[in-house]
Structure 1
Amino acid sequence: MSENATDTSMSAPIANADSILSTEPPYSIFDHRQRALIIFIISIAATFSGFASNIYFPALPTIAHDLNVSIELINLTVTSYLIFQGLAPSLWGPISDVKGRRVAYCFTFVVFLGACIGLAESKNYTTLIVLRCLQSTGSASTIAIGSGVIGDITTRDNRGGFMGIFQAGLLVPVAVGPVIGGALAGSLGWRSIFWFLAIYSGVFLLVLILLLPETLRSIVGNGSLTPSSVIARYPLNLYQRTSKTKWKPVTSTSPDSDTTRKRVDVIGPFRILISKQAAPIIIFLALYYAVWQMSITAMSSLFEAKYGLSEMEIGLTFIANGVGSMVGTLVTGKILDIDYRRVKTRHESSAPTDPEQTNNSQESDFPLEKARLRLVPIFSGLQCISILLFGWTIHYPHKVHIAVPIISTFITGWTAISNYSVVVTYLVDIFNDRSAAASASLNLARCLFAAGGTSFVMPMINGIGVGPTFSVCAAVQAVGMLGLAIQWKFGAKWRMEAQAKRRVDVEREESESM
């Protein structure tokens, strides 16, 4: 069944049996209330990646002192975390696209829980950095898997809004994580940070096992099929049975069920990453995300050195960045839905009158790049300005009040995550049958770029100063706009070529199997 099929999960109950039989199954059987619960659960799951990263920042100077190592070495634990944050979804994303979302979630949280307990008991730098890599392996994939869930239960018409809500949920740690980390490190010591994460993840794992349904379309179709695997089922599925939505269940033999069995393609995210239909926009986003992470990583040391702030005060300075991120993604998600519907209406009004031609036009010629990427140049320009403001105001701490760089982090967070929301929604639209793998490819690029940036940001600041460092960053971002321009100009052509090639491959496989 096409993803662009009408989503009837919010429609009125069907009056009689005849109308039930004549009604085409909806894209997803989950009604608005059920989707809200699913999005809420996966949003909480995605907070763990952000919590494990951001709760750690205010304690960096304290950990360096306690383990008797330099701040540069401690910053390498941030770099290693980002490297594995990029690599891990390339494994778990394809697994979730084949074996199921619940399977992937359960295994990743078990790994995360074990790593947190080990970190709380770590006594030396080597143990710290190894377990941070393992912790990242367990937490990072929750974002890619969550994006896959959204691709399972939404259509293009409403995906932007749901993706915005999901992104806002996972960004809560950006705002409150440093505050919690600063408070815990300042009162109970930095090890209490990891005990907090261990308790949090253990409790949530039980909630996830009980409440999250399997949504992978190759296993449950539009949600009406019963998974054969025990781990893919969930105990408390009563809320699904109380659905007011009336549907015609999709059978496993239906051509619309999307239940074709697939193999785990671990290199799938890498192929997406280097494909010409995705590479330009992914590289563009990775550059902007890397600069954002460089500014966040440097904040703790800069605010301590330039303004003499305590751990708790440093934690409070991160609130502006987190609030900007949350507000930005919520607003951007709504705008994405509005833009898509506006472009879709205009496209349909100019489409051929012949039904077959109209359907082909909608599938092949729809200006998806125009519908999704229109606002990206605005966000990008604002982020360049905010990065320059951040660097040069901290460069002269005695001349500029600390409120100015803090406000700049609000703008940076807003624009950086708005760009991310747009790009990840666009990629899920393009690779709907591999949504978690597509998200993993974006995650791989942005995290590896960020790992490189955070590894040399402090040495660069120490060498040429804060202002010049972030001026270079802004210049790199300006050059990165070329990727966006290339995607805008050639994206539609490359996307249609890939769709045509995929149809030919499917037809060849079907003919060979006959």
Structure 2
Amino acid sequence: MATPAAEPPPPPLPCAVAAMHRSSSSASHSSRDASAARPGSLTLESNDASDVSHASAAVAVAPASEVEKEERHTAFSRNEIRLIVLIASICGFISPLTNNAPLASLPDMSRDLGVSIEKATLSVTLAMIGQGISPLFFGSYTDILGRRPIYILCLIIYAGANAGLANLPHSYAGLLALRLVQAAGSASMISVGAGTIGDVTTPRTRGGYMGIFQAGAALGPCVGPIVGGLLTQAYGWRSVMWFCFIVGVLGLVLVLLFQPETLHRLVGDGSLPPPTLLHEAGVALLRGTTASQLKGTPRPGWPVDPNPPASSWRHFLRGLSRPLGPASLLLMPEVALLLFATALPFMGWTCITSTISSLFVEQYGLSTSEAGLIFLAPGVGTVLTGVCFGRLLDKDYRTAKRRVEREKLEKEKLEKSRDGEAQEEAQRQASGTEVPKEEVPLEAARLRRYPILLVMAVATLIAYGWTVERRVHLAVPCVLLFINAMAIGATMSVCQVLLVDWLPGRGASVTAANNLVRCLLGAGGTAAVQPVIARLGIGWTFMLVAAVCASAAPLAWLVFHRGQRWREARAAKLAERDAPAA
């Protein structure tokens, strides 16, 4: 946890060692008390996670490094943050794994259940729709109930659905129903994971950590088809469901033992005792190193609603309407435009992945297992993008922040240029001045690389379609798949980080809205691409897909040039509305 401002910060320790150090050191008790009492800490009475950013800005009274500011934002150590991001990445890996692993087993599934291949493929489309809708519920409730309880619930649902599919009798209706439940459990962990990373990171480091999270999710399309093809060939399609069940149980064990609660509304910067036993990490609880045990204070219980409804019936209706919260984000013009700017390239990506097996078997004469290896090319490209591109996003943010600081310094020097002595004093003071993150132009910092990424995605889509149709050497479409995956994966990282920057206290909800738009467009692309290929051919089909992806360009242009203006106008209206109450 964070140390008092008067003491030099100790070197970061691994989570387990840090927990033992805190339990054996009496200074840690005073450290936590000081952390809870300092102005930058949050109490359970704060109802908006955006209060954390205001509190963090309030503490910056003297020149301080960005690392010190980050420590004020969260009481978790750097190694603890890394463990939290690792668990979120593993859980985020489950959803794309579940969606892609059964692709190679569709022929075996159709024969076993006695249905056509088209009906078996319908289970994939239905699962994608479930992946788009379910985060509206879990993503909205995790911003209220906490990250950890929703993680546990989703993993239990996911593991139970996989156990049911693995033991499924010859029932096509049962397959569709359980695939929908399976998708509901797996997809929500992406929105919860994004919210968790938003809790423990700042804009300065969010790009890098979010890139690691995206890389974990990108492993699913890479590993899923290969593992699914090998297991189906050796043991049948039900073995794929047993594999997913084992992965779900392992994820549940990791969350139960090591995942702490991070939601600012419940634990502040991480130094406050969580409300219930369910929010405590198992290892810390067994060691006696939780905030509640170290401070000797009882857990506070669920925070009281500051604006309770007039009746229990209205309270019930409010709970039912909460899933509409993520969907209501589409009413914000900059959010809606950015969601479609990332969903359109993603739709092109799903058109590629849903046809790789059939196209390479038909055009190049590959076997099912050999066609599954083709997924390595886009999978590796997406993973590399997640690991490397996040650092570029962090660099772009720092560059934009330094530019604002220089402009602010020049303005101060100009205002005080009448007095040379005052000018020198202003320079000395301004050299340590930090610009609040609210003044950094987020759209310019995050979207500066989006145009070239979109051009790369569109160009590789066109080239991929024609090379596959003309049966060019197998290495050429593989390289194009690699570049295309890097470009589309980077556009998704850009948009996801910017969305969390806009709404830091609603990371899970905004990711749920992102997932909704992406999955619905992706499901439409998956359902339409095969009939279009049959009518137009491979080359012209991907020309059409590339044109649809290119339509994201004007949407991103509007966000880049008008997004900040829209946000400021909305904030001004809210301030004007709340002024009489103040």
Whether TM exceeds 0.5 here: the answer is: yes
Can you give the 5+ residue segments of structure 2 that lack an aligned partner in the other structure? 12-26, 42-71, 308-317, 413-425
Residues 101 and 214 in structure 1, CA contact (< 8 A), matched pair in contact too: yes
1:344 paired to 2:418: no
| 1:1-29 deviation digits (Å, cap 9, x = unpaired) | xxxxxxx9x97249998998889551100
Q: Partner residue of 2:61? A: none
**Cα deviations by residue, 1:52-91 (Å, 9 ceiling, x for unpaired):** 0111222223323433433333322221111111111111
CA distance in 2, matches of 1:350, 1:321: 42
Q: Using the alignment, how far apart are the partners of 1:499 and 1:259 within structure 2?
A: 27
Q: State the one-letter code of the partner of 1:486.
A: L
Per the alignment, residue 4 of structure 1 pairs with none
After TM superposition, give the deviation of residue 505 of structure 1 in Å. 5.2
Structure 2 residue 235 is the aligned partner of structure 1 residue 161? no
Which residue in the other structure is 2:569 paired with? 497
The residue aligned with 2:456 is: 382
Contact 1:164/1:331, CA 8 A, preserved across alignment: yes
> How much has 1:389 moved relative to structure 2?
1.9
8 Å CA contact 1:72–1:458 kept in 2: the answer is no
Contact 2:259 2:281 in 1 (8 A): yes
Shift of 1:464: 1.2
How has the CA–CA distance of structure 1 residues 162 and 505 changed in structure 2, closer, same or farther, with 3 Å as cutoff? farther
Task: Give the drift of 1:341.
Answer: 0.6
Structure-1 separation of matches of 2:75 and 2:163: 39
- Larger CA deviation: 497-506 vs 138-147: 497-506
Question: What residue is the counterpart of 2:16 in the other structure?
Answer: none
CA contact 2:273–2:299 (8 Å) conserved in 1: no
How far off is 1:150 after superposition? 0.7
Amino acid at match of 1:386: T
The question of 1:178 aligning with 2:250 is answered no
Distance 2:113 2:463 in 1: 34
Distance 1:438 1:103 in 2: 19
- Equivalent residue for 1:72, pick from 104, 118, 142: 118
CA 205–505 in structure 1, closer or farther in 2 if over 3 Å, else same: farther
Q: 1:27 to 1:364 in 2, by over 3 A?
A: closer
For 2:451 and 2:288, locate their aligned partners in 1 and report how far apart those are by CA, in whole Å.
45
- Runs of at least 5 residues in structure 1 that lack an aligned partner in the other structure: 1-7
CA distance in 2, matches of 1:436, 1:283: 18
Encode CA deviations 1:94-131: one digit per residue, 9 max, x unaligned. Answer: 11000000111111111111111122233233222221
Distance 2:545 2:534 in 1: 15
Q: For residues 145-196 of structure 1, what are the alpha-carbon distances to aligned partners after superposition, in whole Å with 9 as ceiling and x for unaligned?
A: 0000011111111111110111112222222221111110111111100011
Contact 2:109-2:237 within 8 A present in 1 as well: yes
Residue pair 2:329, 2:335 contacting (<8 A) in 1 also: yes
The residue matched to 1:236 in structure 2 has which SS? helix
Per-residue CA deviation, residues 286-320 of structure 1 (Å, 9 max, x unaligned), is 11101101110011111222222222212211111
**Contact kept in structure 2, 1:292 and 1:416, CA below 8 Å:** yes
8 Å Cα contact 1:185/1:311 also seen in 2: no
Equivalent of 1:474 in 538, 546, 551: 546
CA distance in 2, matches of 1:474, 1:308: 26
Distance 1:62 1:404, change over 3 A: farther
The corresponding residue for 1:232 is 279
- Give the letter for the 1:195 counterpart: W
Q: Which of structures 1 and 2 has the bigger CA Rg? A: 2
The residue number in structure 2 matching 1:445 is 517
Q: Secondary structure at the match of 2:440?
A: coil
Equivalents in 1 of 2:97, 2:226: separation in Å? 11
Q: Distance in 2 between matches of 1:259 and 1:425?
A: 31
Q: Paired residue for 2:366, among 309, 316, 341? A: 309
Separation (CA, whole Å) in 1 of partners of 2:451 and 2:287:
41
- Give 1:168's aligned amino acid: A
Q: Compared with structure 1, are the counterparts of its residues 496 and 374 closer, same or farther at alpha carbon in structure 2 (3 Å cutoff)?
A: same
- For the Cα contact (< 8 Å) 2:40–2:73, is it kept in 1? no
1:12 to 2:9 alignment: yes
1:223 aligns with 2:270: yes
How far apart, in 2, do the equivalents of 1:240 and 1:473 lie?
55
Specify whether residues 240 and 303 from structure 1 end up closer, same or farther in structure 2 by C-alpha distance, changes over 3 A only: farther
* CA shift for structure 1 position 259: 10
Residues 94 and 507 from structure 1, CA distance in 2 versus in 1: closer, same or farther, beyond 3 angstroms? farther
Q: Which amino acid aligns with 2:185?
A: G
Superposed counterparts of 1:188-199, under 5 Å? 188-199=235-246
Q: Percent identity?
A: 36
* Equivalent residue number for residue 3 of structure 1: none
Partner of 2:144: 98
- Aligned residue in 1 for 2:156: 110
Deviations 1:179-225 (A, max 9, x none): 11111011111110001111221232122112100000000000011
Helix, strand or coil: the match of 1:88?
helix
Name 2:440's counterpart in structure 1: 366
Tell me if structure 2 keeps the 8 A contact 1:364–1:496.
no
Equivalent residue letter for 2:390 = G
Q: TM-score, normalised by structure 1?
A: 0.88
CA shift in 2, pair 1:422/1:261, >3 Å? farther
Residue 84 (structure 1) aligns with = 130
Q: What stretches of structure 1 move > 6 A for 4+ residues in a row?
A: 14-23, 238-243, 258-263, 358-361
Alignment match of 2:176 (pick from 126, 129, 134): 129
Distance in 1, Cα, partners of 2:337 & 2:540: 27
Output the CA distance in 1 between the equivalents of 2:576 and 2:10.
40
Note if contact 2:110-2:120 (Cα within 8 Å) is conserved in structure 1: yes
* Distance across 2 between alignment mates of 1:504 and 1:23: 27
CA distance in 1, matches of 2:152, 2:105: 29
1:292 & 1:73 partners in 2: Cα distance? 22
Aligned equivalents of 1:57 and 1:161: distance in 2? 31
